[in-house]
Chains A and B, each alone.
Chain A
Amino acid sequence: MLDKAIIVAHGYLGDEKYQIRRLVLKTEIAHQAQPGQFVHLQVAGGIDPLLRRPLSIADIDKERQEFTLLYRLKGHGTQVLAKTKVGESLNLMGPLGRGFSLPAQGELVLVAGGIGVFPLLPLAKEALEHKLKVSLYWGGAEAGFFASAGLEYWQKTGIPIRFSTMDGSMGSKGDVFELLQKDFAQNKFAPANPPAVAVCGPHPMMEKVSDYFLRLGARVEVSLEERMACAVGACLGCVCTLKDESTGKLRRGKVCQEGPVFKGEEVLWDYGQ
């Protein structure tokens, strides 16, 4: 739907140096939102920037009709968005896209690279409501990053979290994929009952993690990101390449409409060519 949402909170999430902001919006859309879906936000009324910005839903509060968006100040669009204040309204489309799916039972392993953790929190909460066993593997540049990227919200869920940092200042030194490999080599899951895995992060990281778990027989879902214009599947701007599981034939998938969440085995990782 198309709606005007009221800003109820907007500011830095933690240390300003990480440039991550938290935006809480009040709108009916919160009622329909599913984990992994996104909204398409008009950051300014005029033509600068021209296009809306897709932002994944980072928390959903159905009772208060609120949801949270987390974003990193990066380009012009987020700079303009950052100027909006509590009490103002923002025009948005949503909730859009196909989100994550929950396994019927068993274990859910979440794997996040950096701010790729944002769309995973609503999934973790829903999985816990469904009595699933949930854990998070989260890679970041350094120890200070996590607190500025929503660590407190994750700690409230009580799920086990395994960290990796590139500089070794927190958790395991190296990237999150190395940490996973170490953990799962030691604690192999039962082949009869493989976990479901949900991954979000930089595409090369998602490719490695997805391939690894697929080889282990897990059910893998990845959340892709691509520049978008329409966000409803009309313009074909945000495509990825998918391979048909049975025929192996290649086709384009619309990240906005068929995704952003795809099955790990159907994605052809041809980014950054």
Chain B
Amino acid sequence: MGSEKKVNMEVRLGPLTLRNPVLTCSGTYGFGEEYAFYCPVDKLGGITLKGLTPEPRLGNPPPRLAETPAGLLNSVGLENPGLEEFCQSYLPKVRQLPTTVIANIAGFSLQDFEIMAGAFQAGCGVHALEINISCPNVKQGGMHFGTHPDSAEEVIALVKAKTNLPVIAKLSPNVTDIVEIAKAVQRGGADIISLINTVLGMKIDVEKQKPALANLVGGLSGPAIRPVAVRMVWQVAQAVNLPIIGMGGILTWEDAVEFMLAGAKAVSIGTGNFINPLAPLEILEGLEEYCQRHGYASVEEIVGLALPKKEGQGS
């Protein structure tokens, strides 16, 4: 590859520029230190922190995990140290991470989102805010905000008014029409859309004759949901004018390319880290080689190539 031209891997997602398009998903990468031994974060486009709420949460009781064909069900239930403890004990370390850091915030009321958004401003140590309006594992709130267009718009507008950081709306796939929600968060002022969160699912232990998860239901991730995620990215890319971070079962560079061809400007690795801690690095290398092989000077050139051509567009 030595003789071939270097590919520009930088991607611009509205107000957020990433050194490359490979991120890690919230809830799969802790607060950025856990995988550092295996995968140096300075190589990544960025990382997304575990979801945070104003108050500390113990989350759901175990068992929280159940394996399914090519998939993983989880019901962690937003366990997190809470805003105050995060700022005291974690943020000083997060600030030192040599990569773009996205904080993920969740809440159970509009007020929660207001508090969380207000706590994160430019210069605070994180570079963007991902708004979790799509968590399936808490009884109230969370996904509720992401399954109704009006409330999705309201939450995003509120968050936008409280923070000067780029705002990423994380969408739930557990909706009738993802496009409707995507348009709503665009109206609310979101800078970026990330999708998909986990797909609501369930597993029953046939010997115990009861649900495998203590929380009864959970969110499905892993390759099993990838086709759903690709389809939704493809739909949303055609319906809104916002940059998209695509996620859902990405294990290899081929998977990442698939999302980018469907219209994602960046991709995020979640469950894939559990299978192969080197997955983000290998995906990054594979993406670059793919671009070289196809003669692209910039990785951004492949974004949306599989989308239908708009009228009036050349070739």
Contact = CB atoms under 8 A, between A and B. Distances in A.
B23 to A, nearest CB: 14
Contacts of B63: 226-227
B27 interface: yes
A42 B275 contact: yes
A270 interface: yes
B87 interface: no
B223 A2 contact: no
B62 A2 contact: no
Interface in B192-214: 214
Residue of A50, A238, A257 with most partner-chain B CB within 10 A: A50
Contacts of B251: 47
A239 B79 contact: yes
Contact of A2 (B76, B214, B277): B277
Nearest to A271: B62
Interface stretch (A113-121, A145-153, A176-184, A228-236): A228-236
Interface SS of A by simple majority: loop
A240 interface: yes
A48 B69 CA distance: 7
A86 interface: no
A270 B62 CA distance: 9
A239 B64 contact: yes
**Interface residue range, chain A:** 20 to 34
B92 interface: no
Interface stretch (B30-38, B139-147, B153-161, B164-172): B30-38
Contacts, number: 100
A252 B28 contact: no
A2 B274 contact: no
B120 interface: no
B71 interface: yes
A149 to B, nearest CB: 23
Interface size class on chain B is: 35 or more
A230 B34 contact: yes
Nearest to B249: A47
Contact of B58 (A48, A235, A251, A273): A251
What DSSP secondary structure best describes chain B's contact surface?
loop
Interface string B16-35: 00000000000111100011
A240 B62 contact: yes
A69 interface: no
A159 interface: no
Given A226-B63, A252-B58, A236 B79 contact: yes
A234 B275 contact: no
A98 interface: no
A230 B214 CA distance: 19
Contacts of B34: 230, 232-234, 257
A249 to B, nearest CB: 10
A236 B50 contact: yes
A237 B30 CA distance: 11
Given A235-B27, A236-B76, A239-B79, A52 B62 contact: no
A73 interface: no
Contact of B66 (A227, A232, A236, A238): A227
A47 B70 contact: yes
B273 interface: yes
B70 A50 contact: yes
A244 to B, nearest CB: 13
Given A234-B30, A236-B64, A273-B214, A52 B275 contact: yes
Q: Which of A93, A227, A250 has the most CB of B within 10 A?
A: A227
B250 to A, nearest CB: 12
Interface string A48-81: 1111100000000000000000000000010000
27 contacts: A47-B222, A49-B67, A50-B271, A51-B274, A51-B275, A52-B274, A77-B67, A93-B38, A93-B277, A227-B62, A229-B274, A230-B28, A230-B273, A232-B34, A232-B277, A233-B30, A234-B34, A235-B74, A236-B50, A236-B64, A236-B79, A237-B64, A237-B76, A252-B58, A252-B79, A270-B61, A273-B61
